[in-house]
């Protein structure tokens, strides 16, 4: 069997999939590419992922590459059912997918807009500032909503599970994005506790240390 290959890049949304893969505990070949150097637009990489984006989970034996975070999370959870990355019962799994899709939509619709504000505004400074201000407000609303949801759940996890699941990992990453945008989140205590739990997961901590080394 050829190991699955996770193509990713540090300090990107690929880090979320890297964390999920670590939590799954699978033997995966993690390969870092440089977006700055344009590695993701080379013919070789486009043959693996025609979208020219990270993350991409290549399954050499199946001749398939899976992209989009919720889909990659689902594959990882099914390949490692004992990991608890997603619940195994139908309702728990559907609720897990619901949160993964929610995080994914918010990432694109709120946080990525903020990160790309200048490009989206065509370089117009005033429009860039307006876009950024609006996304900061919406980012804060997004995280406050998730914080309240966590407060209602047992164990302080999105699905009420004792251990963290893939949606918890995704949500903790959104909190990190908020940090880059200077959104105040200290009062979101449930979310802060969840993020600490995710960061303390031994396999995730090891994966993140590796990302620090790669830079
Ligand atoms: N919807 C994709 C988002 C992937 C994405 O936007 N990746 C960014 C890094 S955060 C990327 O590769 N950007 C390079 C580009 O678009 O040129 C997912 O769920 O993985």
**Domains of the chain, start order:** 5-83+203-214 (3.40.30.10), 90-200 (1.20.1050.10)
Tell me if residue 136 falls in helix, strand or coil.
Answer: helix
Closest of 45, 28, 29 to residue 37, by C-alpha: 45
Those residues with Cβ within 8 angstroms of residue 59's Cβ, 6 or more apart along the chain or in another chain: 4, 65, 66, 75
* Residues 191, 144: Cα–Cα separation, whole Å: 9
* Residues 87, 90: Cα–Cα separation, whole Å: 8
Closest of 3, 12, 108, 4 to residue 53, by C-alpha: 12
Which amino acids bring their CB within 6 angstroms of ligand 1? 12-13, 35, 40, 52-55, 67-69, 104
Which residues is 30 bridged to in the sheet? 6
CA-55 nearest atom, ligand 1: 20
Per residue of the chain (215 residues), give pLDDT as tens.
899 999 999 999 999 999 999 999 999 999 999 999 999 999 999 999 999 999 999 999 999 999 999 999 999 999 999 999 999 999 999 999 999 999 999 999 999 999 999 999 999 999 999 999 999 999 999 999 999 999 999 999 999 999 999 999 999 999 999 999 999 999 999 999 999 999 999 999 999 999 999 99
CB atoms within 10 A of CB 193: 15
Q: Going by CA atoms, what residue is nearest to atom 15 of ligand 1? A: 53
Q: Going by CA atoms, what residue is nearest to atom 14 of ligand 1? A: 53
């Amino acid at each position: 069997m050829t190991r699955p290959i996770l193509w990713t890049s540090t300090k990107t949304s690929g880090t979320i999939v890297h964390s999920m893969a670590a939590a799954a505990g699978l033997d995966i070949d993690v390969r870092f590419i440089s977006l700055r150097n344009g590695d993701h637009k080379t013919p070789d990489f486009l043959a693996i992922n025609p979208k020219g984006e990270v993350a991409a989970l290549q399954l050499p034996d199946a001749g398939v590459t899976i992209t989009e975070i919720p889909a990659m999370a689902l594959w990882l959870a099914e390949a490692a059912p004992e990991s608890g990355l997603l619940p195994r019962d139908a309702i728990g799994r559907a609720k897990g997918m619901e949160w993964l899709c929610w995080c994914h939509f918010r990432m694109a619709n709120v946080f990525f807009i903020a990160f790309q504000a200048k490009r989206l505004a065509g370089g117009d400074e005033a429009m860039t500032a307006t876009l950024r201000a609006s996304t900061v407000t919406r980012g804060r609303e997004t995280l406050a909503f998730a914080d309240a949801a966590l407060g209602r759940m047992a164990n302080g996890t999105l699905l009420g599970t004792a251990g963290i699941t893939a949606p918890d990992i995704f949500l903790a990453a959104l909190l990190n994005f908020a940090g880059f945008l200077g959104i105040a989140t200290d009062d979101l205590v449930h979310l802060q506790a969840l993020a600490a739990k995710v960061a303390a997961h031994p396999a995730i901590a090891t994966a993140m240390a590796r990302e620090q080394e790669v830079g």
